[in-house]
Chain A
């Protein structure tokens, strides 16, 4: 029993937790931006897949790591644009379109992978982002090690949270995004294009989702394989709800979730074959459902979430 608790005090556990949290942080911020503007983006799972592939392939074919991140973000933004065109001006069901984008993005990725690497049986590896310990800070026991001996992409994830929070709450643009998710007619009455805000938010959000996917290939697994996203996108949607649509809370949710995930992996090793490993693998999904149930009663959705807006409508 103490063995199970000791894990929580080791630095390596927390380093892993933060690493596991990083892609979730990117994608959760991406989804949060979309939903704050009033658009549920169920394309997230597919867009993460595209990002994972695009980033990895850029590096695999000789590109720079940061170029990989940029390519992933651009690819994500393009799928975001498609999603936004269908759901914002055309006002189509965000559920159906989102699932459609996920199916399209996933299948296009698989098609492209097979086209570009027809003969490959085991996925080739790339040279990923290396940990970049920050001198001084990474010497602090446990906390410092966990937070400051990560790869640059993880630092970028945390910066993204700060940036998203700043933009949402401290800038005119963020105010417009929040208002678009609360009452789009208020935005239009003040002379701002609701469509413009929403399309922009979905594109930026989708770019972040794609970077979250790219983290997996460029900072965690070092190669691309099908189904590597494995429901992470859906978990991020749950995290947005769990975080009450606030960047800080969502960040905490992601870390909490990742810590739990890292913990169950270690627990698996301790319990050995006593409990089937699938039980542990199920936990993240069950935990997400539980999180949704826990916050359901007091969840205050952006009021215009999932409601299409037509100009001149009140």
Chain B
């Protein structure tokens, strides 16, 4: 079996490949649904209705998509430069911690000043958290996959420590949770009375900005060059290590915004279950989007829809909601195969 490179297909054909990946994912998931003794069609119908069948469902999906857009962007940016940031989960919590530290009254500023200050501080925290493994990678050759993965556990324990210590809410009845952020540190709701908040708008804006950076700027060009071929980049005079540092700052910062947006926009405080694995799902989102920043928005909404829809479905159909995690993981694997088939022709002889 051999793989031969082939010319890039037209946009229309290029979209068939991810579509094919989704179809294969659905087919495989259908087998699990059958194993659970339910009818795949009705289950998928329930998932779709739960994700997009009503205004409430749609808003819920978009709310859930918000952190996924941020982590998806973080991963997309990092993977483009082939910096394997599997630590978006930790960077998210770093952003959340900063939001709570600065947003619970430490800074008595008006909202228009406080929110940007917190957001930027959160991004710095996330950036620093990824800079550490990035420096270990460039200076010592320590594989960043393992270090970022391990740091996820360290940071989560650190947060747990803070929530039982420095940041503990005295009124929390002993639960490990922080105090709520003050009103000036809250992102307003987009529609009054609904959960969708301006974090979503920030996420969309971030996606556009990242798209511009990747497509239009010298930095984005450098990041892509370094990701595709570091040796040729170095030969051409691109400061590879510096580009990786900038990538780490951007990626870590974006992931931290997910934590900021969840705390300041949705939850109001920090708990240990702030993120049900948004950092890991971000990898799936980024791959589904083929690392395209605008595609990340669509992919995040898709993945969020599966989670929200599966929650609703499991309440009525009795199929465990973990089916959503299975679907998301499957779609990651089918998608990488689809991308391969898009770029290479498989010859069996």
Contact = CB atoms under 8 A, between A and B. Distances in A.
A297 B136 CA distance: 11
Q: Is the interface of B mostly helix, strand, loop or mixed?
A: helix
Nearest to A277: B161
Contacts of A292: 136, 142-143, 146-147
A40 to B, nearest CB: 8
A282 B157 contact: yes
Interface in A78-122: 82, 86, 89-93, 95-97, 99-101, 103-104, 106-108, 110-111, 114-115, 118
A107 B142 CA distance: 29
A91 B1 CA distance: 11
A91 B3 contact: yes
A204 B6 CA distance: 35
Contact of A238 (B150, B152, B164): B150
Contact of B140 (A82, A110, A297): A297
B4 to A, nearest CB: 10
Given A95-B145, A104-B333, A107-B328, A276 B150 contact: no
Contacts of A296: 136, 140-142
B325 A103 contact: yes
Contacts of B239: none
Contact of A100 (B158, B160, B325, B329): B329
Contacts of B283: 96, 99, 103
Contact of A104 (B141, B150, B330): B330
Given A91-B3, A92-B340, A99-B283, A289 B320 contact: no
A96 B340 contact: no
A172 interface: no
Given A110-B325, A279-B161, A103 B35 contact: no
A299 interface: yes
Contact of B153 (A100, A115, A285, A312): A285
B140 A104 contact: no
Given A100-B333, A114-B320, A293 B326 contact: no
Contact of B158 (A114, A115, A278, A299): A278
Contacts of A89: 1
Contacts of B337: 86, 90, 92
A235 B150 contact: yes
Interface in A109-162: 110-111, 114-115, 118
Interface residues on A, range: 35 or more
A278 to B, nearest CB: 4
Contacts of A289: 147, 150-151
Contact of A107 (B2, B318, B322): B322
A104 B84 CA distance: 19
Interface string A270-282: 0000001011011
Contacts of B86: 99
Interface of B: 1-3, 32, 35-36, 79, 84, 86, 136, 140-143, 145-147, 149-154, 157-158, 160-161, 164-165, 280, 283-284, 287, 318, 320, 322-323, 325-326, 328-330, 332-333, 336-337, 340
29 contacts: A42-B145, A82-B333, A86-B336, A86-B337, A89-B1, A92-B337, A93-B336, A95-B145, A96-B79, A96-B287, A99-B332, A100-B284, A100-B333, A103-B329, A103-B332, A108-B326, A110-B322, A110-B325, A114-B320, A115-B320, A238-B150, A241-B143, A278-B157, A278-B164, A285-B153, A296-B140, A297-B140, A297-B141, A311-B2
